[in-house]
Amino acid sequence: MNATNKIEINMNNHVYYGEYSLAYWIELILTCKIMLPKYQRHFVWSQKQLLTLIATFQENRFVPPVTIGSFKMSDGSKQNYIIDGQQRLTSILLAYLDLFPDKESYKAHLLELAHGEESDADEEVDPYDNVLEWNFKCLTEKGRNREEIRNHIEDGNYKNIGLGLTANFFHEHYLGFSYIVPSDSATMNQQSYYTKMFREINVQGVQLLAIESRRSLYFLNERFEKFFEPDFADKYYVNLVGEKQRLDFTRCLCLMSAYKQLSQVNKVARGFSGRRIEEYIEWYIYSIVEHEYEHIFGKFSDIFHNGNFENDIQRLKDTLEQLRLPKDYPSIINMDMYFFGLMYHVLLCHEKIDVRRGAQLKRVIESAISSLRDEGSHAQAPAQFQYLRKRIVRSVDIYNSFVLP
């Protein structure tokens, strides 16, 4: 039996509490009656965590409820978003399918592609799901039931868990929920409400990366999503503390915008040393989506005429491709030197780089990187602001010599 109760909180939002059987949660996912908002992180639980969750149900122990939010779309339709509980709900779906994303097999597949060892050269689209950046949408696109989904997955992309759960398990165990219906139907107000809720909830649990947590702020105004995270940005990676991480495009935008607005590099991120740099980047996002802190970062509509940034983003993408800049960087020093000046001149100053001199540009940048690394502590502590600001100035100055008149 599925049950719900309603409570009204602060006379503003209605909150319903209840529980559904695991079978019904699976039905809601497969029929797309509950979905993930764009800012949600990827599935990050391990197979061990999934098994622990299933054991918790089997032993009738407490499982924290999930949070679902009702969202009224601009066309008047409604969508139910998973605000908290993606990891639990995805694990339940995977247990039902008796599958788990096989990251090691996928990495081997990528290596084969890199070395030209894959045989299907005529295929334009890789049939493998990218299980390194994965959520359950990859599965719901393959079918609406267990048989359809399992028939449409690539061999080696997922591994069998071997749980052997019966249908009775999913019908006899329940997961609680809170269902929130904001009284304010204005799209922007709903976005703001859920964004703040998501960030507050996710202070706990598996820690979000800075970029993941920050992504929820883009939901305050979806129009700017492709500005903060353009599609091409995920092709560039940097090695940080032994881990490969994507280009933090918004960080670069933030620092370059502050440098352009304040004119003096020593004023960039002043008072935000250490971990507070993430707060500074959030201020930058708020300067665009809510028009706060414009005295620090500039007025977006002044930088981009009428707020139209699409042509500049496309020109940056084209310039990156024409310059053939590296896709992988051994350190943040290297990545900053290549991207700071480029984004400053192309995006914020609307200038064009002489791509015919690309080879010369790369030699100058590499020489500057070597010089910076020879400065002792710079290579050991590149995040210190004295070194970060030095990279800002050097990179902007280098690219300035390659700007077309």
Examine residue 120 and state whether it is found in any structural domain, yes or no.
yes
Task: Give residue 137's pLDDT band: very low, low, confident or very high (50, 70, 90).
Answer: very high
Does the pLDDT of residue 120 top 50, yes or no? no
Q: Specify whether 13 is located in the same domain as 108.
A: yes
CB burial class (10 A; 0-12, 13-18, 19+) of residue 212?
middle
Q: Specify whether 108 is located in the same domain as 229.
A: no
Rounded to an integer, what distance in angstroms lies between the CA atom of residue 134 and that of residue 141?
13
Rounded to an integer, what distance in angstroms lies between the CA atom of residue 66 and that of residue 82?
8
Instruction: Write out the residue range of the structural domain in which residue 32 sits.
Output: 3-190
Q: Domain boundary residue among 142, 171, 190?
A: 190
DSSP letter for each residue of 194-258: HHHHHHHHTTSSSPPPHHHHHHHHHTTSGGGHHHHS-GGGGG-EEEETTEEEE--HHHHHHHHHH
Sign of CA dihedral 319, 320, 325, 329: positive
Q: Specify whether 228 is located in the same domain as 183.
A: no
Note the pLDDT of residue 124: 53
Examine residue 284 and state whether it is found in any structural domain, yes or no.
yes
Residue type, 341: G
From residue 381, alpha-carbon distances to 90, 248, 332, 373, 375 in Å are 39, 18, 10, 10, 11
Does the pLDDT of residue 8 top 50, yes or no? no
Q: Specify whether 13 is located in the same domain as 128.
A: yes
Q: Specify whether 233 is located in the same domain as 104.
A: no
Residue type, 226: K
Q: Specify whether 173 is located in the same domain as 290.
A: no
Examine residue 274 and state whether it is found in any structural domain, yes or no.
yes
Note the pLDDT of residue 212: 63
Does the pLDDT of residue 291 top 50, yes or no? yes
51-55, 79-83, 88-92, 274-278: the lowest-pLDDT one: 274-278
Q: Tell me the pairing of strands 158-160 and 13-21.
A: unpaired
Rounded to an integer, what distance in angstroms lies between the CA atom of residue 249 and that of residue 257?
12
Q: Domain boundary residue among 190, 213, 248?
A: 190
Interval 164-198: pLDDT, tens: 999 999 999 999 999 988 877 666 677 777 776 76
Note the pLDDT of residue 209: 55
Of 228, 221, 196, which Cα lies nearest the Cα of 289? 221
Q: Specify whether 245 is located in the same domain as 365.
A: yes
Task: Give residue 110's pLDDT band: very low, low, confident or very high (50, 70, 90).
Answer: confident
List the beta bridge partners of residue 66.
Answer: 177
Whether the CB-CB separation of 39 and 218 falls below 8 Å is answered with: yes
Does the pLDDT of residue 205 top 60, yes or no? no
Give φ, ψ of 235 to 5 degrees: -90, -5
Examine residue 215 and state whether it is found in any structural domain, yes or no.
no
Examine residue 200 and state whether it is found in any structural domain, yes or no.
no
Q: Specify whether 27 is located in the same domain as 162.
A: yes
Q: What is the mean pLDDT of residues 144-155?
A: 93
Note the pLDDT of residue 65: 96
Q: Specify whether 176 is located in the same domain as 236.
A: no
Note the pLDDT of residue 125: 58
- Alpha-helix residue ranges (DSSP H) falling in 263-375: 277-289, 294-297, 300-303, 310-323, 332-343, 358-373
Examine residue 292 and state whether it is found in any structural domain, yes or no.
yes
Whether the CB-CB separation of 42 and 134 falls below 8 Å is answered with: yes
Q: Specify whether 179 is located in the same domain as 294.
A: no
Interval 233-289: pLDDT, tens: 989 999 987 788 889 999 999 999 999 999 999 999 998 876 688 889 989 998 998
Note the pLDDT of residue 116: 56
Task: Tally the domains of the chain.
Answer: 2
Q: Domain boundary residue among 142, 172, 190?
A: 190
Examine residue 195 and state whether it is found in any structural domain, yes or no.
no
Note the pLDDT of residue 119: 46
Examine residue 198 and state whether it is found in any structural domain, yes or no.
no
Q: Specify whether 113 is located in the same domain as 254.
A: no
Rounded to an integer, what distance in angstroms lies between the CA atom of residue 299 and that of residue 353?
24
Q: Specify whether 279 is located in the same domain as 354.
A: yes
